[in-house]
Amino acid sequence: MSTDTANLSAHTPESHAAQTHGGVVLAGLTKRYADGTTAVDDIDLRIEPGTYCCLLGPSGCGKTTMLRMIAGHETPSDGAILIDGKNVIDKSPRERGTAMMFQNYALFPHLSVRDNVAFAMRVRGVAKKERLYEADRVIEQVQLGALADRLPGQLSGGQQQRVALARAIIMRPTVLLLDEPLSALDEFLRLQMRGELRGMQRELGITFVHVTHTQLEAIAVADQVVVMDKGRIAQSASPRDIYAQPRTEYVAAFIGGQNVMHGRVSDLGDAAITLHGAQGACYILPRGDAPVSIGATMSFAVRRDRMRVTGENDAMAATPNTLHGRVRELEYQGIYMKVSLVTDDPSAPGCVVYVEENTFFKDPVAVGQRVRCGWDIGEAHGLAERA
């Protein structure tokens, strides 16, 4: 187990710099189930106080297990969980200063909104007058004042979600843990509620740790996105870095919006790497910090919206950073045209380019047409091996 949490990567969103409570540190956190499954594998992670953190990954990657361990609903096999600097491994869920909001909201159908919200205080023996006062305070905070006497069955999905949120925050946690909080909502409500969750997190000023498998949800709400892969962290960074600078092929493919290509390193300059792909393709990319050697196979990514597509013509000599191919499909998306290609380089068989609408219609390409697609050197970045 690594106890040296000082080396963990820090994320300090400026807007949260003043927060002092709700910092979470995971050090060497591991969960092995009795059947031999390692759901969470030696994870180190730092979440600064007041951060909106999303744990993102495909089904089965260990995000719920990680959340449940932070909440105290699952016992780690190894490692430490620090909340505001104190190891809480031996503490009960109540003693940790955390609260959990569940996927299905877990509301009591026979209790009114007010009694649902006051329930946690009732369990803790808080006097009726005080708990109803507190319940009304948080019900106002989530803008459900007019519906406090209704039963959950008389509420919409979005309203039920707000009740669940009110119920989670009534005990004034420093860390709120949210397990797929938007998954029960339809598309329209999901977009609305994710904005509300983000707004509520800012207003409350507490740390949110939100589990989701939806990429756009994570990058829309989070200050820090933690992409998980088979129980490990593939990358933990700001949404912009996750989207624009995925570290590995796995992250690039999972987040989307990128074309990943491969080549063999044929030249190493101080500032650039030259790769050779199939069919004489030549790619030049900026040299990063990662070690790389001549002859090694390397993958790199270029954002879909940073590529250009033009009709192929004989006058074009072979230029670096160019894929040749045929247009397979065009999909109009309003602000851009999605151009899907079948490329000649078998290491990059499918390539998708987002061409801004005006640019596309100035010089359109058609389905079936031979095209070439290029990008500036600075738009490519090398990818590391899978973590």
Q: Give residues in contact with ligand ATP (CB under 6 A).
A: 33, 35, 37, 39, 57, 59-65, 213
Task: Pick the closest to residue 121 from 103, 142, 141, 138 (CA basis).
Answer: 138
CB-nearer residue toward ligand ATP: 57 or 152: 57
The CB-nearest residue to ligand ATP is 64
Q: How far is the CB of 217 from ligand ATP (least distance, A)?
A: 13
Smaller CB distance to ligand ATP: residue 65 or 248? 65
Which C-beta is closer to ligand ATP: that of 35 or that of 187? 35
Q: Which of 37, 33, 106, 45 is nearest to 70 (CA)?
A: 45
Nearest approach in angstroms of CB 62 to ligand ATP is 4
Residue 229: C-alpha distances to residues 8, 68, 262 (Å):
18, 17, 21
Q: Are 165 and 197 in contact (CB under 8 A)?
A: yes
Nearer to ligand ATP by Cβ, of 59 and 293: the residue is 59
Q: Tokens 């870095």, residue?
A: 241
Q: In what order do the strands lie in the sheet with 224-229?
A: 98-101, 175-179, 207-212, 52-56, 224-229, 232-237
What's the closest the beta carbon of residue 49 comes to ligand ATP, in angstroms? 25
CB-based contact 31:76 (threshold 8 Å): yes
Task: Considering the complex, state which of residue 35 and residue 314 has its C-beta at the smaller distance from ligand ATP.
Answer: 35
Cβ closest to ligand ATP, residue 74 vs residue 379: 74
Integer Cα distance of 82 and 178 in angstroms: 18
Location of structure tokens 């800012």: 202
Shortest approach of ligand ATP to residue 219 CB, angstroms?
Answer: 17
> Nearest approach, Cβ of 30 to ligand ATP (angstroms)?
12
- Sheet with 297-303: list strands edge to edge: 282-286, 272-276, 258-268, 297-303, 380-383
Nearer to ligand ATP, 13 or 60 (CB): 60
We find the least distance from the C-beta atom of residue 59 to ligand ATP, in angstroms, to be 3
Nearest to 176 by CA among 21, 5, 336, 317: 21
To ligand ATP, the closest distance from the beta carbon of 19 in angstroms equals: 27
